[in-house]
């Protein structure tokens, strides 16, 4: 594909998003930016959340992961379903009952100011890392497919990417994102479906033959019970999936902000149930695509890149598949990246404005001016982190993302679990120390687990250990008396 064609696709897609933002951003005040005035249709939120959950990480890395991990990712996806049930029936009812704008305000109600600020800071760190990883993916592909040919440096590619996102989110915030995410989800699914169809045609397979070939290829193995020390063991991934979902959706302002924009808790639950059911076949579709990519490369003699994340971009954009696949790939990639990054930018702006700057009760006009400044500031921070990640990345992005989440989301898991499942009060001022020590201890244990634990290697379940250590740390700093349950 020519760089000019790809650039045209990107600009055309962005123009559509900008038009949507103009219409949805009309008369959007601060409540519209933060919570969509609590009028979002649940079915629109559910469909859009599929795209926001997938992101550029899933779009590229999950197919690339099949080469080394087969379909083992489905073990985590099954765990996701348990996590979504917990979110729908425990966390969301509490958020709606307390009428929260930022979910971390709960920690202020339950424990105090230090806990509240600690939770907010850990979310900011977690989401900045996650959003930066995702944006790095799309910026890297745009750099390879478009801007290298024009001699544009990587930092300028990142800058342009973030400016495009900022332009269509600064006005309407979550009110706009609810609708742009829906369009983006549609493009993501169309991209994957069309690629699966065209690869099958290139290999002269009908649907039944394609399923049979994938099944017999060895890539389609889902369940792994044989080696407890392996990161792919079923129980490790299943439990990790459940807890990762709880923290990266239920304890994440980004994902919960969409749910809190529904009209009521009944609609929010409908959204969560349908979204989780749709996500399972969608992930299976991505894994099927991954196996087809590796089969196609093997049968046509195309060398698989050392970084398997690069396989899908290579086949889609370098002439190995029909040009139309390259068009759909670029659309899907941009849609996947924007669907997660735009909501992350809005959620980070919301959390920093409400939680860190305590600006929730400001007059409307003054609050609007402040959140727009914060919006620009957060955009600049994302750009800096992306450039840093570009220098240090040396592993599959999806693995790096969950590794980071295991350390930064763990304290949030421990704090919310302690608040929900105990009635004890704590010495609030010691919470920041507990929240810092827990990830550090986990890091030391992780690096020495093979020696200390008889060959055991931690996977994503390091998140569970991190949350448990935080919980135990909070037990140590409990104070006398009981706290009234919220």
The pLDDT score that the predictor gives to residue 30 is 57
Contacts for 314 with CB less than 8 Å, ≥ 6 apart: 302, 305, 320
Residues with Cβ < 8 Å from 354, sequence gap 6 or more?
Answer: 34, 101, 102, 105, 360
The enclosing H or E element of 478 equals strand 478-482
Give dist(CA 170, CA 168) in Å, integer. 6
The domains located in the chain, with CATH, are 3-397 (1.20.1730.10)
Cα gap 173→465, rounded to integer Å = 35
pLDDT of residue 484: 52
Question: Which segments of 170-264 does DSSP mark as H helices, in order?
Answer: 174-202, 207-216, 234-245, 253-259
β-strand partners of 426: 478
Length of the chain: 486
Predicted local distance difference test score (pLDDT) of residue 28: 59
Tell me how far apart the alpha carbons of residues 90 and 98 are, in angstroms, rounded to a whole number.
Answer: 13
Residue 133 has a pLDDT of 76
Q: How far is it, in rounded angstroms, from Cα 362 to Cα 34? A: 14
Return d(Cα 121, Cα 125) in angstroms, integer.
Answer: 6
DSSP-assigned states of every residue in 321-338: S-HHHHHHHHHHHHHHHH
Provide CB contacts within 8 A for 237, sequence distance 6+. 72, 73, 75, 76, 79, 224, 231, 459, 460
Note the pLDDT of residue 31: 62
Angle between helices 42-69 and 397-408 (to 10 degrees): 120
Instruction: Provide the residue-wise pLDDT of the chain in tens; the chain has 486 residues.
Output: 677 777 788 788 888 888 887 777 666 555 656 666 667 788 888 887 887 777 666 777 788 888 888 888 899 999 999 999 999 999 999 999 988 888 999 999 999 999 999 999 998 888 888 788 778 877 877 787 778 888 889 888 888 888 888 877 776 667 777 777 788 788 888 888 999 998 998 888 998 999 998 888 888 888 888 877 777 888 888 998 999 899 888 998 888 888 888 889 999 999 999 999 999 999 999 999 999 999 998 888 888 888 787 888 888 878 788 888 888 888 887 777 776 777 788 888 888 888 888 876 778 788 878 888 888 899 899 888 888 877 775 555 545 555 666 688 889 999 999 999 998 999 999 999 999 999 999 989 988 988 898 888 887 788 889 999 999 999 999 986 555 555
DSSP codes of every residue in 351-381: HIIIIIS--TTS-HHHHHHHHHHHHHHHHHH
Angle between helices 174-202 and 42-69 (to 10 degrees): 40
Helix axis angle for 113-142 and 154-169, nearest 10°, is 120
The torsion angle over the Cα atoms of residues 6, 134, 295 and 303, rounded to 10 degrees, is 70
386: its two tokens: 């992306």
Burial label for 280, CB within 10 Å (0-12, 13-18, 19+), is middle
Strands annotated E in 58-203: none
Dihedral sign from CA coordinates of 331, 335, 341, 345: positive
């Amino acid at each position: 594909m020519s760089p000019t064609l790809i650039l045209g696709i990107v600009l055309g897609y962005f123009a559509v998003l900008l038009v949507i933002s103009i219409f949805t951003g009309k008369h959007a005040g601060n409540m519209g930016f933060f919570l969509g005035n609590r009028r979002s249709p649940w079915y629109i939120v559910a469909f859009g959340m599929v795209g926001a959950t997938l992101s550029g990480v899933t779009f590229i890395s999950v197919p690339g992961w099949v080469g080394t991990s087969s379909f083992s990712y489905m073990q985590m996806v099954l765990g996701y379903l348990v996590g979504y049930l917990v979110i729908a029936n425990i966390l969301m009812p509490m958020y709606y009952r307390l009428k929260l704008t930022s979910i971390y305000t709960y920690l202020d109600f339950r424990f105090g100011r230090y806990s509240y600020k600690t939770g907010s800071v850990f979310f900011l760190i977690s989401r900045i890392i996650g959003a930066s990883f995702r944006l790095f993916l799309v910026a890297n592909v745009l750099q390879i497919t478009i801007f290298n040919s024009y001699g544009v440096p990587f930092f300028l590619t990142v800058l342009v990417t973030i400016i495009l996102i900022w332009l269509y989110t600064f006005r309407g915030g979550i009110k706009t994102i609810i609708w742009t995410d829906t369009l983006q989800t549609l493009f993501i699914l169309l991209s994957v479906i069309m690629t699966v169809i065209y690869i099958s045609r290139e290999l002269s397979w009908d649907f039944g033959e394609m399923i049979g070939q994938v099944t017999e290829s060895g890539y389609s193995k889902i369940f792994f019970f044989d080696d407890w020390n392996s990161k792919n063991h079923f129980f490790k991934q299943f439990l990790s999936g459940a807890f990762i979902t709880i923290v990266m959706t239920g304890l994440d302002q980004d994902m919960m902000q969409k749910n809190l924009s529904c009209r009521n808790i009944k609609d929010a639950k409908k959204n969560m149930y349908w979204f989780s059911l749709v996500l399972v076949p969608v992930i299976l579709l991505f894994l099927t695509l991954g196996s087809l990519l590796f089969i196609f490369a093997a049968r046509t003699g195309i060398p698989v890149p050392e970084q398997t994340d690069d396989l899908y971009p290579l086949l889609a954009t370098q002439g190995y598949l029909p040009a139309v696949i390259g068009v759909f790939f670029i659309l899907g990639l941009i849609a996947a990246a924007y669907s997660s990054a735009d909501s992350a930018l809005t959620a980070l702006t919301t959390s920093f404005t409400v939680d860190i700057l305590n600006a929730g009760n400001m007059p409307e006009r003054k609050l609007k001016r402040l959140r727009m400044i914060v919006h620009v500031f957060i955009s600049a921070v994302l750009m800096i982190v992306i450039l840093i990640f570009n220098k240090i990345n040396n592993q599959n992005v999806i693995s790096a993302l969950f590794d980071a989440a295991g350390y930064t989301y763990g304290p949030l898991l421990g704090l919310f679990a302690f608040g929900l499942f105990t009635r004890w009060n704590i010495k609030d001022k010691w919470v920041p120390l507990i929240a810092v020590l827990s990830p550090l201890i986990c890091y030391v244990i992780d690096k020495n687990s093979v020696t200390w634990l008889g060959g055991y290697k931690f996977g994503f379940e390091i998140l569970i250990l991190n949350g448990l250590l935080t919980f135990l740390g909070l037990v140590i700093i409990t104070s006398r008396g009981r706290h009234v349950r919220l």
